[in-house]
Structure 1
Amino acid sequence: MRFKVLAELVELAEKENKPIYEIMIEEHVTETGETREKVIAHMTESFDVMMASVERGLKEDIRSFSGLTGGDAKRVYEYAQKGKTLLGKQATEAMAMALSTSEVNAAMGLVVATPTAGSCGILPGVLSSLRGSLGLEKEQLVLGMFTAAAVGYVVANNASISGAGGGCQAEVGSATAMAAAAAVELAGGTPSEAIQAAGLALKNLLGLVCDPVAGLVEIPCIIRNGFGSVLALAGADMALAGVRSVIPPDEVIMAMYNIGKVMPVELRETAMGGLADTPTARKLERQIYGNELNEA
């Protein structure tokens, strides 16, 4: 890749007068040797999987194998259709669609890791909501995925996208930043605005711990995906309005990396602390695993 950090990505896009998604497509073509058409076809396949997971969670009565989660996506989506939501219909639908994808993941359904399975609902939720609110075609939304991928590439290579390595900030935080950047370009924003949106979204999730109840990617993971979709839209709106992150986005990523390094192991996907160590969480854990815990 010709860019390693977000500042270089913006500089490249501005110099060549191209959107971020175009830079990412060209870089991928160069690195893989595949044709542009083939690269876009691969991303389109991922998009189709995303949309299928969104639809499934909204239509089916999905329950996770543990029985802990399921059905919230349908509840929120039906609530959104009443037109009286406090967030507004678009943001509430984005939240429902993010929940939907995450519930499909918890039920061992097919999803796209964006950038991980634990944060798989945020980008699909945002893309699905923009499809309706902006009247975007499938081809346009696929291009937005390349914008998200460019941000994810930088985060993964300069910090972490692993809950075990850096807490939930590295998963939900990264996904929220990716979705915020994609939303800006899909709305007609500039590369600079897209990257500012990523920085604004990410810095409001710094320090978010990874504390899955019973070690499962369900509680609080699914709900955090729902909130992440709304935060992504908020970050995009702020950037499009002209708000800039005082701390440069690349420094926000650096801060996330440093926070992850000092985060206690109990708060990094071990289910040893945070919400996972509450009395209710331990009770649920015993209900799920039963004698396995006693024997351990």
Structure 2
Amino acid sequence: MRVLLLGADGQLGRELTALAVERGLALAALNRAATDITDPVAVAKALEAHKPDVVVNAAAYTAVDKAESEPDLAAKVNAVAPGLIAERCASAGVPLIHVSTDYVFDGTKTGAYVESDPLAPLGVYGRTKAAGEAAIRAAGEKHLILRTAWVYGIYGNNFLKTMLRLAKDRDRLTIVADQRGCPTATRDIAEGILAAAAPAVAGSARWGTYHLGGTGVTTWHGFAQAIIDRAATYTGRRPEVAAITTAEYPTPARRPANSELDSSLFERTFHFRAAPWQQRTVEVVDTLLAKSPVEAS
């Protein structure tokens, strides 16, 4: 199976690349410098050059707050580009796996979101990601859209690494406690993508949209406390993790109060379930603080 990865420099792209190496998988990892995903000619050339069996689009504009002041750029990357990629994949007869987000929902649902729940994004980021999903669906049938949430791992910038950095010199952290979701490790997303890629290539996949979130639900405050507790076993530091409300931490973009994703459809279809978020949190903190040889900046 030959995989073409777009967005190789992101935290998920780097995780997927590392997993492909670990498994001896043929993967061509292209970053923005190598292929401009907003340029249909560049995307077509990448497909022709690498002749993949499946394309994975892990590229996105993910600066949620900054998107409010850069709506055109966010739309170009998150809405227009996925449609272009999907069109080129459809023309080449190659299936596409695209990564989307919980931000397509408004967070007002009481329970976990399922794939068929109505979309109601709160801000520019969510609206552009929802538009990207729609563009992919319009381009052709052979696609898998995987929505995930609260992404973290050893690569790039994310909430877990921010907590580790702040805990080095702060005695008190104030963390929002009235937003809940499923922290999802990049390792699980990468493994889920590969689990879905095989049937996609074989032509036996059930095409459409799926949720792929970490197992278990917590708040940002609960997630932060788990990170700090594990880090303390290495650093001896245990700053206070104080709970605050969303209203006490205003941001340019509104966040969903509920980002819980029901991933049971993905598990039933592709026979993969993400690990409990607590387990993955321990593993990621251990990797980062035990000074793993893995480059984790």
Q: Could you state the TM-score of these two structures normalised by the residue count of structure 2? A: 0.29
Q: Under a length normalisation based on structure 1, what TM-score does the superposition of the two structures give?
A: 0.29
Question: More strand by proportion, 1 or 2?
Answer: 2
